[in-house]
Amino acid sequence: MSLLEELYRETIMQHAQKPHNFGPLENPTVRVGGNNPSCGDQIELFLKLDGNVITEAGFTGHGCAISQSSASMMTDLIRGKTLDEALELERKFKAMVVEGQPPAPELGDLSALQGVAKLHARVKCATLAWNALEQAIEEVRSA
């Protein structure tokens, strides 16, 4: 399998074309923007919280298949998770795409993005939504 085939799997392309949770949330608890200035990809992440638990997550923006599918799958995954659990998922996701570690089972569909680790140029695309998540959690906690 070529790197290309390894990366652009059905799961990723489907999420990229029809991203889940796409659109702004009304009255979000927190809303943060993320930019990848090198390519112009943009994301805006919205979270609704009930205490410590993420009850809803949505995003808007534009970008490549990698950044869009990552945001789509991430917003699916973090719904119902506590902030600490979400941060733990972020750590596991980054271990996979940055350090090239095998995907943790909790990452579910996101394991489709493991090929990114072999393409340094695309790591920033895959982590765009996750960096926004980390920033959002920081903002909630410092508020």
Does 2 sit near other proteins (CB under 8 A)? yes
Per-residue x/- mask for other proteins, residues 74 to 113, rule CB under 8 A? ----------------------------------------
Per-residue x/- mask for other proteins, residues 41 to 60, rule CB under 8 A? x-------------------
Contact present, 143 and 125 (Cβ < 8 Å): no
Contact present, 130 and 70 (Cβ < 8 Å): yes
Per-residue x/- mask for other proteins, residues 6 to 45, rule CB under 8 A? -xx----x--xx--------------------xxxx----
Rounded Cα distance, 31 and 97, in Å:
25
Tell me which amino acid residue 129 is: A
> HSE on the CB side for 103, CA within 13 Å?
13
CB of 39 to other proteins, least distance (A): 4
Out of 19, 112, 122, 127, which residue is the one contacting other proteins (CB under 8 A)? Answer: 122
CB of 115 to other proteins, least distance (A): 10
Does 121 sit near other proteins (CB under 8 A)? yes
Burial label for 105, CB within 10 Å (0-12, 13-18, 19+), is: exposed
Looking at 4-12, 20-28, 79-87, 92-100, which segment touches other proteins (CB under 8 A)?
4-12
User: Cα dist. 111→18, 23, 31 in Å?
Assistant: 18, 24, 26
**Other Cβ atoms closer than 10 A to 92:** 16
**Interface residues toward other proteins, by CB under 8 A:** 2-4, 7-8, 13, 16-17, 38-41, 62-66, 119, 121-122, 125
